[in-house]
Amino acid sequence: MSALAKATTAERLPQRVSGPTQAGTACFNWPLRGAKLSITLARPKNMAEIFHRSFFLRGQAGRIEAMLWTTPQANPRLAAVVCHPHPLFGGTMHNKVVFQTAKALHRRGVPVLRFNFRGTGLSEGVHDRGVGEREDIRAGLDYMANEFLGVPILLAGFSFGSLVGLQVGCEDIRVTDLIGLGIPVDKSSMTFLRECTKPKLFLQGANDQFGSRENVEKLFNTLPDPKELAFVENGDHFFTGHLDEMAAAIDAWLFKAHPGLFSEPASL
């Protein structure tokens, strides 16, 4: 079976994630020589029936390697797409910041799509300096919009992923919320955000070497509401040693922006 065929199969038949279990409420009884044998089923401790799907999207430059974390809710109130940092410097959808961002969203019952930009991992094509990558993001949005009909989409991106992701997210009507992590404002123009009136969270390490506190604040002050800016003290561009604080800031903002989501985060 080809890799593409396997991926298609994986999309149709997602695999259940194993993890800590607790006793379920369902029991089955079978007659056993005049007695009954009762078997209690194990079930995931918190987010029951969670599935991870690994598959390929159809992109402009060929197939796009992707991973979807779904949730128990048949009709979630929010879905999300998270974009990774620069692929020419080792950025992939498995980057720690991207993973922890996805995890923070997923704990609130939000299905999350991550994917590799063209030319990264198993994704076809070659790096296109942020131009073709915007089409990759749109392919991800198309998939989520079709998978979760009518559900608003949050678009998050880290570093390079924030630069291209926020551009697409500001324009696409399906995207209702934006998160920019480690925005690279020192060497990239992000003035397009001045026209973006969607709810926005910017999360930056106070010692980010690609987006200084001064330049981030200068940009932020020119942007329309609703907006929020949070700095992780002593954090660098990759939030090294401060990923928990980064995730907590996302969770706090998400709780305020979407109080209808789970009131208590669930553990994976």
Instruction: Grade residue 1 by pLDDT with cuts at 50, 70 and 90.
Output: very low
Average pLDDT over every residue of 222-231 = 98
Q: Domain range holding 71?
A: 3-19+49-257
Instruction: Let me know if residue 224 belongs to a domain.
Output: yes
Instruction: Let me know if residue 40 belongs to a domain.
Output: no
- In this predicted structure, the answer to whether residue 239 has a pLDDT above a threshold of 80 is yes
Average pLDDT, the chain: 84
| 70 Cβ contact partners less than 8 Å away, ≥ 6 residues apart | 14, 50, 51, 52, 53, 111
Average pLDDT over every residue of 162-189 = 98
Q: In the chain, what percentage of residues exceed pLDDT 90?
A: 75
Own/partner long-range contacts of 89-95 (Cβ < 8 Å, ≥24 apart): 91/120, 91/159, 91/160, 91/161, 92/116, 92/120, 92/121, 93/65, 93/66, 93/67, 93/120, 93/121, 95/158
Tens-digit pLDDT profile for residues 113-138: 999 999 999 999 999 999 999 999 99
What distance in Å separates the CA atoms of residue 106 and residue 119, rounded to the nearest whole number?
A: 27
**What integer pLDDT is reported at residue 263 of this predicted model?**
55
Q: For residue 192, how many C-alpha atoms fall within 13 Å in the half-sphere facing its CB?
A: 13
Handedness of CA 179, 119, 172, 72 (dihedral sign): negative
Nearest to 98 by CA among 79, 113, 120: 113
Q: Which residue has the tokens 């402009």?
A: 60
- CATH number of the domain that residue 100 is part of: 3.40.50.1820
Instruction: Let me know if residue 14 belongs to a domain.
Output: yes
Instruction: Let me know if residue 26 belongs to a domain.
Output: no
Tens-digit pLDDT profile for residues 20-68: 333 333 332 333 333 333 323 333 334 334 578 999 999 999 999 999 9
What distance in Å separates the CA atoms of residue 10 and residue 72, rounded to the nearest whole number?
A: 18
Instruction: Let me know if residue 158 belongs to a domain.
Output: yes
Residue 107, phi then psi, degrees to nearest 5 = -65, -20
| DSSP label at residue 125 | S
Find out whether 231 and 213 touch, Cβ atoms under 8 Å: yes
Instruction: Grade residue 157 by pLDDT with cuts at 50, 70 and 90.
Output: very high
Provide the domain count of the chain: 1
Instruction: Let me know if residue 207 belongs to a domain.
Output: yes
Average pLDDT over every residue of 102-108 = 96
**What integer pLDDT is reported at residue 21 of this predicted model?**
31
Residue 156, phi then psi, degrees to nearest 5 = -120, 150
**What integer pLDDT is reported at residue 169 of this predicted model?**
98
Instruction: Let me know if residue 24 belongs to a domain.
Output: no
**What integer pLDDT is reported at residue 260 of this predicted model?**
85
- Please give the model's pTM, rounded to 2 decimal places: 0.81
Average pLDDT over every residue of 203-232 = 98
Instruction: Let me know if residue 240 belongs to a domain.
Output: yes
Instruction: Grade residue 261 by pLDDT with cuts at 50, 70 and 90.
Output: confident
Lowest mean pLDDT among 139-143, 211-215, 264-268: 264-268
Find out whether 85 and 98 touch, Cβ atoms under 8 Å: yes
